[in-house]
A and B are shown apart, each in its own frame.
Chain A
Amino acid sequence: MGDYILRTTNLSKQYKDQWALDDVNISIKKGSIYGFIGQNGAGKSTLIKLITGLAYPTRGELELFGHSSAKELVQARKRIGTIIESPALYPHMNAIENLEVHRLLKGIPGKKCVKKTLSLVGLQDAGNKKAKNFSLGMKQRLGLGIALLGDPEFLILDEPINGLDPMGVVEIRELLKRLAFEHGITILISSHILSELHLLATHYGIIHKGKLLEQLSAVELNEKCQQYIHMKVDDPNKAATILETRLKTSHYEVLPDGTIKLFGYLDNPGKVSAILFHEGLIVEQFMPMREDLEAYFTNRIGGGYHE
């Protein structure tokens, strides 16, 4: 198994004439929090379904905990906890009963773990409330609780912070960090909330149209995230012309709100501000900044900046 919990080799999945996954080679290190990023329909859920055994690959290999044969993979999945697309709850059962179904399913002895799990996800006061009366955030917490039953070594969470209030997001983030860093649980997490993922993940995988574009660590991402000068001026069009004529650069982007990102002159911002001022522009904002995950992701999948 080595250091890796999950490894895929040319993993592909075809639905009719469309490749939902195309030769994906992903590797997730033990103890990492792997942020899985992609647009809707990019192939995130398909990959998660292949890992969890809900669907079968058209070609390629999947290795979980060092095992890759079909029989071994079934056994290896006992060491996984999942939330796939939405928390799987029985609406007519209360929280305790929902956990009890999964406790029995996983063959966990004793009922102590049910109360412990409820406390862990902050639902200790809602144990007797029916799942159908839960808010989306409470459902997410209960779904996470179910995934955590049996102390899994690998958690696969598809959009686990959907519907959570800001406090809930912070709590779940801290809980996931604790699980990863204190208990050594490896986490694969897909989320559309990239800013949140940025605060959590130690590694990233970017998937687009079924292809894994890039895998990188948080450190590598920080190195790759471009620095730029953030500017707000009274006339963005005139500023753009000045950047191209006076500063001879096209490496900038004018955002819809009129702010400008200038990817250059970071070693000499004074020259930029002096020229803009000299040309009669009113500079309202001017500061060096770094791209965040969202910008990097948009750039990587071809959302594009002006070059």
Chain B
Amino acid sequence: MSNLVKSELFKLRKDRSFWTLVLIIMALAVSYPPFVYFVLGIKSTSMKEILSAIALEGVNTYIVKFVPCILAGFFISSEYSIGTMKSIAASGNSRIRIYFSKLLVFSLGAAVIALIFPLIMPSVGLLFFGFYDMPRSDYIIQTVGLTILYACAFASVMALFAILFTDSGKTIGFLIISVSLFDTIMYTFAQKFKIVDIIYNYSVSKLFLDITKFNLGNEELFKLMIIPILTFLLVGWIGSFIFQKKEIM
């Protein structure tokens, strides 16, 4: 399996769509604090407010949920259209290993994308606003860890559809529409059906909104950790099962 992971890592390193997305998000993250300082004229703010802005204003929520959809299309589905999926599938590696190596590296890419904003924006913010009201290091570690877990869980769901579709355009379009409508649809049905309400409350899509909360209790923190891990494993297993059965034309 290490061969497959090394090969996928090499491809991710050479993936232009990945680097383009990374550079765009980096540029946004770097330009946000000077925008607040110079354009909005806010000369003093706390680090907690900066972090809240990332979380509550939903900047990173959109990045984590939408940007990897594009990567899924180019990194996974395009392998079908350019024909390379055939040579990978015929390489004498089991389909399960092929799928999980692809999922692992795609998740890594999604995690990198998810961490750019929360890591770069506060760092640049320090230059403008100083260390006033800086959160404790355990909070930063916890938030970074949860962001990685949720990025991987979302990546697992995206990889499932990316492996199902054989065209990057279809994958990107389907995923963006699905992600856009998921919360609205689930919220609507949750009002009418108790079971949907329970599923939605335990979904990564809903729980992701809570990961930057301050003063999380142990029970809540455990829930926030275990759900994305289970989602990653369960959806990953379903994806590998589908890929194993799929005939590559």
A80 touches B82 (CB 8 A): no
Minimum C-beta distance from B241 to chain A (A):
14
A78-B92, A92-B16, A97-B14 as given contacts; A54 in contact with B82, CB under 8 Å = no
Instruction: Let me know if B91 is at the binding interface, CB within 8 A.
Output: yes
* Nearest chain A residue, comparing its CB with the CB of B14: A93
- CA–CA, A226 to B151, complex, Å? 68
Residues of A within 8 A of B2 (CB): 107
Q: Which of A1-9, A83-91, A243-251 participates in binding chain B?
A: A83-91
Residues of B within 8 A of A86 (CB): 83
17 extra A-B contacts, CB within 8 A, seeds A88-B84, A105-B4: A49-B248, A54-B247, A55-B247, A55-B248, A56-B247, A74-B94, A75-B92, A82-B86, A86-B83, A88-B85, A93-B14, A101-B11, A102-B91, A104-B3, A105-B91, A106-B91, A107-B2
28 contacts between A and B (CB under 8 A): A52-B86, A52-B90, A53-B90, A54-B249, A55-B249, A56-B247, A77-B92, A79-B92, A84-B83, A84-B87, A85-B83, A88-B82, A88-B84, A88-B85, A88-B86, A90-B84, A92-B14, A92-B16, A97-B10, A102-B7, A104-B7, A104-B10, A105-B3, A105-B7, A105-B91, A105-B93, A106-B3, A146-B87
A101 touches B86 (CB 8 A): no
Residues of B within 8 A of A104 (CB): 3, 6-7, 10
- CA–CA, A85 to B248, complex, Å? 12
Count chain A CB atoms within 10 A of each CB in B11, B87, B247 and give the residue with the most: B87
Within 8 A of B (CB), among A173-209: none
B14 touches A78 (CB 8 A): no
- CA–CA, A82 to B89, complex, Å? 11
**CB-contact partner of B7 in A74, A76, A79, A101, under 8 A:** A101
Interface size on A, residues (CB 8 A): 33
> What residues of chain A have their CB less than 8 Å away from a CB belonging to chain B?
49, 52-56, 74-80, 82, 84-93, 97, 100-102, 104-107, 146
- CA–CA, A100 to B13, complex, Å? 13
- CA–CA, A78 to B3, complex, Å? 13
Instruction: Let me know if B88 is at the binding interface, CB within 8 A.
Output: yes
CB within 8 Å: A-B pair count: 84
* Nearest chain A residue, comparing its CB with the CB of B86: A84
* Nearest chain B residue, comparing its CB with the CB of A97: B14
A100-B10, A104-B3, A104-B10 as given contacts; A88 in contact with B87, CB under 8 Å = yes
Within 8 A of A (CB), among B43-69: none
Minimum C-beta distance from B109 to chain A (A):
16
Residues of A within 8 A of B82 (CB): 88-91
B248 touches A74 (CB 8 A): no
B10 touches A77 (CB 8 A): no
**CB-contact partner of B93 in A56, A74, A92, A97, under 8 A:** A74
Q: How large is the interface on B (under 10, 10 to 19, 20 to 34, 35 or more residues)?
A: 20 to 34
* Nearest chain B residue, comparing its CB with the CB of A98: B84
- CA–CA, A91 to B168, complex, Å? 15
Q: B71-105 CB contact bits vs A (8 Å, 1 = yes)?
A: 00000000000111111111111100000000000
- CA–CA, A55 to B95, complex, Å? 12
Residues of B within 8 A of A49 (CB): 247-249
A80 touches B87 (CB 8 A): no
B90 touches A54 (CB 8 A): yes
* Nearest chain A residue, comparing its CB with the CB of B101: A105
- CA–CA, A62 to B87, complex, Å? 19
* Nearest chain A residue, comparing its CB with the CB of B90: A52
A55-B247, A77-B91, A106-B91 as given contacts; A88 in contact with B83, CB under 8 Å = yes
* Nearest chain A residue, comparing its CB with the CB of B3: A107
Minimum C-beta distance from B68 to chain A (A):
19
**CB-contact partner of A101 in B10, B83, B247, B249, under 8 A:** B10
Residues of A within 8 A of B248 (CB): 49, 54-55
**CB-contact partner of A89 in B3, B84, B249, under 8 A:** B84
* Nearest chain A residue, comparing its CB with the CB of B97: A74
Residues of A within 8 A of B94 (CB): 74
- CA–CA, A44 to B189, complex, Å? 50
Residues of B within 8 A of A100 (CB): 10
- CA–CA, A82 to B84, complex, Å? 11
Residues of B within 8 A of A107 (CB): 2-3
B90 touches A84 (CB 8 A): yes
Residues of B within 8 A of A55 (CB): 247-249
Residues of B within 8 A of A79 (CB): 92
- CA–CA, A110 to B82, complex, Å? 27
**CB-contact partner of A90 in B3, B6, B11, B247, under 8 A:** B11
Minimum C-beta distance from A68 to chain B (A):
15
**CB-contact partner of A102 in B14, B16, B85, B87, under 8 A:** B87
A86-B83, A100-B10 as given contacts; A105 in contact with B90, CB under 8 Å = no
Residues of A within 8 A of B10 (CB): 97, 100-101, 104
Minimum C-beta distance from A101 to chain B (A):
6
The 7 closest A-B pairs by CB, nearest first: A78-B92, A52-B90, A77-B92, A107-B3, A104-B7, A105-B7, A88-B87
